[in-house]
Copies of this chain bind each other. A is one copy, B any other.
Amino acid sequence: MTDDIDTLPSAPGAETTPRHLAPGEVGLVAPRDFIYSQPFSFRSGQSISGFQLRYETYGTLNATRDNAVLICHALSGDHHCAGWHTPADKKPGWWNNLIGPGKAVDTRRFFVVCANVLGGCQGSTGPSSSNPETGRPYGILFPFVTIGDMVRAQKLLLDHLGVIELHGVIGGSMGGMLALRFATDYPRFTRRVLGMATTGRESAQAIAFNEVGRQAIMQDPAWNRGDYTKDAGPRVGLAIARMMAHITYVSDASMDRKFGRRKKDTANSDAYTFDVQFEVEGYLRHQGQSFINRFDANSYLYITRALDQFDLAHVDGTLEQAFAAVEAETLIVGFTSDWLFPPEQNRQLTLALLRAGKRASYAELSTDLGHDSFLLESEELYGLVRGWIERDQPYVFDYAI
């Protein structure tokens, strides 16, 4: 996921109204921590004595405790998906365009929850957290984490918050994997699923890109088999991994439109140099450098491994079988220019749901922004989300096969 979502433009007269107080904004928000103090076993068989998830909520849980909408973030995202932490923040949460009073995910009606995944590095327990047995960061002693493990930890958070069923769960990319896993693992709890730019399993090419990123990290001498302190990790390897991954999140067309072959310094456009010459080079280096200041390299290894291992069909043989217990009404949205989890993979999910007799829809949006199109500011997308989230649902599933 890119981190270059622009700050909102100032509305006319905005001088007198701070952005975070503008109509339609959730305003100032604060993250909280859910502490789970019992042993937690991972699918790998490993376990930890407890964990913490950092999360945010917007809106209010209703009296019947069934208006919760869970937002699931992508590989490099976090719990801060809407609002501002301070009035001075340069940017709001990463999905602020989608979430707020009167927005597609309307916080006047829904209780929105978003948590940093287990294994992450933005406040949730992960490899950079302190290992209570050693007093030092877990490093690669942290258990291998799967998408299913992440989902199970978030279910414990939702239980803690008193949510008795999810009105809906929404996610793009890896977030879509979590959303689908909620539907298969907690079928009665999960009423609606919205997955965007996602897949039931990665192709060889996606695994290949992740593997190059992991190698860049693990072969950086500063990785030291995962044993490093916060300020001395494999920053070079992590930046390389991020630069490469970023290319896969956008598209040839969008990069060409944004940068083309423009040279960085027009006064010196014919300079022969290995320094930044084309604008796209400077942009990528910035992506790499800003990432290493906010992300932990070991978390990158763990989460990409979770992405590679995720295979819905593997659990039960076929996607149809994997979806057999699903009760959720599902909307899958694919984007024409997404070449990481291309439309075909999104369509396959929908077809498998339909073949399994489930209520499922597919929408394909024509964009040229690539995989990250799910972050798009698009009335068409907002309309889809609204239609999915607000439609009345039948009480009884009477369309079973």
A138 to B280, CA, bound (A): 29
A259 to B243, CA, bound (A): 25
Name the distance in Å between A270's Cβ and chain B's nearest Cβ.
Answer: 9
A208 near B284: Cβ-Cβ < 8 Å: yes
Across the interface, which residues of B come within 8 angstroms of A216, CB to CB?
216, 240
Contact status of A212 and B274, CB under 8 A, knowing A204-B261, A205-B247, A261-B207: no
A204 near B259: Cβ-Cβ < 8 Å: yes
Contact status of A218 and B284, CB under 8 A, knowing A201-B261, A247-B208: no
- Complex partner residue of A205 from B201, B219, B255, B285, CB under 8 angstroms: B255
Across the interface, which residues of B come within 8 angstroms of A205, CB to CB?
247, 251-252, 255-256
A327 contacts the other chain (Cβ, under 8 Å)? no
A285 near B215: Cβ-Cβ < 8 Å: yes
A211 to B277, CA, bound (A): 10
A65 contacts the other chain (Cβ, under 8 Å)? no
A215 near B203: Cβ-Cβ < 8 Å: no
> Which of A239, A243, A285, A308 has the most chain B CB atoms inside 10 A of its CB?
A243
Interface residues of A in 234-257 (CB under 8 A from B): 236, 239-240, 243-244, 247, 251-252, 255-256
B140 near A207: Cβ-Cβ < 8 Å: no
- Complex partner residue of A277 from B260, B277, B308, CB under 8 angstroms: B308
Name the distance in Å between A40's Cβ and chain B's nearest Cβ.
Answer: 16
Name the distance in Å between A241's Cβ and chain B's nearest Cβ.
Answer: 9
A267-305 vs B, CB cutoff 8 Å, 1 = contact: the mask equals 000001110011011001100100000000000010001
A51 contacts the other chain (Cβ, under 8 Å)? no
Across the interface, which residues of B come within 8 angstroms of A219, CB to CB?
236, 239-240
A44 contacts the other chain (Cβ, under 8 Å)? yes
B207 near A280: Cβ-Cβ < 8 Å: yes
A144 contacts the other chain (Cβ, under 8 Å)? yes
- Complex partner residue of A260 from B44, B144, B204, CB under 8 angstroms: B204
Across the interface, which residues of B come within 8 angstroms of A140, CB to CB?
274
A214 near B144: Cβ-Cβ < 8 Å: no
Q: Which 8 A-B pairs have the closest CB atoms?
A: A144-B272, A204-B255, A205-B252, A44-B272, A211-B281, A219-B236, A204-B280, A204-B259
What are 11 A-to-B residue pairs whose CB atoms are below 8 Å? A202-B261, A205-B255, A207-B261, A208-B247, A208-B255, A209-B247, A214-B274, A221-B221, A240-B240, A244-B244, A272-B305
A residues touching B (Cβ–Cβ < 8 Å)? 44, 46, 140, 144, 201-205, 207-209, 211-212, 214-216, 218-221, 236, 239-240, 243-244, 247, 251-252, 255-256, 258-261, 272-274, 277-278, 280-281, 284-285, 288, 301, 305, 308-309, 311, 339, 342
